[in-house]
Amino acid sequence: MHDLSKHNTLALKVVADKVECFTSETALQALLATGAAADSLILGGGSNCVLPPVIHQPVLIPALRGIRVLQETTDQVLIEVAAGENWNDLVWYTLQQHWYGLENLVAIPGWAGAAPVQNIGAYGVEIKECLHSVRLLSLKNGSSEERLAEDCGLAYRDSVFKNQERDNWLIVAIRLWLRRTPLLRLDYGEIRQQLQMMHCTDPGPLEVAQAIQTIRQRKLPDPEQLPNVGSFFKNPWLDKEQVDQLLQQFPDLPHYPQEGRIKLPAAWLIERCGLKGQQNNGVGCAAQHALVVVNYKAQQNTQREVLDWVQQVQTAVQQRFGVWLDVEPRVYVPTA
């Protein structure tokens, strides 16, 4: 039995029959080629999953490391990053190299290989914008494939790897186009305000990353201190008619029109249901940010307590606003 309670940032009590950690792509491919790991559960940084208390299928940890330059032009550089590289370390490394584009995605927990699965996004930027392709190994037979970003179905917190291609592939590396000349994205929320507070009148990408890191530290609980997987719910997208109806009842409802639809902040809906800072059985919505489900009983609570709380939140929001909140992390149902 392997204890995975320290390998998931919700700190759920989890044990697995078999865990294999790979640092070599060749060894990983050789195993997959046998077909013996076809039903494996792939675990990266464990920062976007809700694991069951007991896992019977093999757990594969693709702890592959390495960052290399594949191509350089006067304006851009194409890099390949192995799946097991820490995402936040990668962001700071690219900034040190004067390669730009990832600065708004600083301080997101997890590993690089998982980043395209949910098309990580923050502060007005998504990985979709700089992803060139991903390198894949088939879980069924170990065959390899390169898949271009446009064929990955990347959308708000979504990709083919969460849907029709779920459990088909293991992402071994991601390829990113980064810029040599910065193109700052400062329009989201409090970025400009934070830069002003830092007395930064002429910011570069490094200062933007520092500003966003500070905002995140202020707004989001650190999983090391208070176990969580970041936003637990996706922000819902509604049609204009639905939002107009809601606005009649709740005139102060924040809403953000984008691409013909309207995004509502799930955090606001949850807070308005009185659930921010509340908990049940040691699982609740963080007092700092309503969207973050936190586990106050590290290594004691299991998936059950989390899902009970999540259902309570979904039901309350549904009853009050008629809006269903979809969950963001992957919830693994227990296998027989």
User: Residue 72: beta bridge partners?
Assistant: 77
Scan residues 101-160 and list those touching ligand EPU (CB under 6 A).
Answer: 122-123
For ligand EPU, give the closer residue by CB, 28 or 266: 266
Binding of residue 235 to ligand EPU (CB under 6 A): yes
User: From CA 209, how far away is CA 327, in angstroms rounded?
Assistant: 27
How far apart (Å, rounded) are the C-alpha atoms in residues 282 and 259? 39
Closer CB to ligand EPU, 127 or 291, in the complex: 291
DSSP letter at 322 equals S
Interacting residues with ligand EPU between 186 and 205 (CB under 6 A): 188-189
Burial class (CB in 10 A: 0-12, 13-18, 19+), 151: exposed
Number of residues that bind ligand EPU (CB under 6 A): 20
Read out DSSP for 265-277?
Answer: -HHHHHHHTT-BT
Identity of the residue, 135 or 157, whose beta carbon is nearer to ligand EPU in the bound complex: 157
169-179 and 76-82 strand pairing:
antiparallel
* Candidate residues 182, 204, 265, 282; the one interacting with ligand EPU per rule CB under 6 A: 265
Catalytic site residue 157? yes
Alpha helices in the chain (DSSP H): 25-33, 87-96, 191-197, 205-219, 240-249, 266-272, 303-321
Nearer to ligand EPU among residue 187 and residue 241 (C-beta):
187
The span of 2-10, 68-76, 237-245, 266-274 binding ligand EPU (CB under 6 A) equals 266-274
The one segment of 1-9, 23-31, 173-181, 287-295 that binds ligand EPU by CB under 6 A? 287-295
Q: Going by DSSP bridges, is the β-strand pair 292-295/283-285 parallel, antiparallel, or unpaired? A: antiparallel
Q: Could you say which of 5, 231, 279, 302 contacts ligand EPU (CB under 6 A)?
A: 231
User: Does the active-site annotation cover 144?
Assistant: no
Residue 150 in tokens: 């446009």
Active-site residue identified among 85, 157, 159, 175:
157
The question of whether 328 is a catalytic residue gets the answer yes
Q: Please select the residue that binds ligand EPU; options are 254, 274, 322, 334, rule is CB under 6 A.
A: 254
Spell out the residues 6+ positions from residue 139 whose beta carbon is closer than 8 angstroms to its own. 32, 37, 38, 39, 40, 42, 167, 168, 169, 170
How far apart, in whole angstroms, are the C-alpha atoms of residue 109 and residue 10? Answer: 12
Shortest distance in whole angstroms from residue 144 CB to ligand EPU: 29
Beta strands 59-62 and 169-179 are unpaired
Of the two residues 174 and 275, which places its CB atom closer to ligand EPU in the complex?
Answer: 275
Beta bridge partners of 155: 158
Our CB check for ligand EPU shows the closer of 267 and 273 to be: 267
Query: Least distance in Å: CB of 47 to ligand EPU?
Result: 8
In degrees and rounded to multiples of 5, residue 116 shows phi and psi of -75, -20
Only one of the segments 8-16, 61-69, 179-187, 228-236 lies at the binding site for ligand EPU (rule: CB under 6 A); that segment is 228-236
Active site residues: 157, 231, 328
Provide the binding-site residues for ligand EPU, judged by CB under 6 A: 122-123, 188-189, 219-220, 230-231, 234-235, 254, 265, 267-268, 271, 276, 289-291, 328
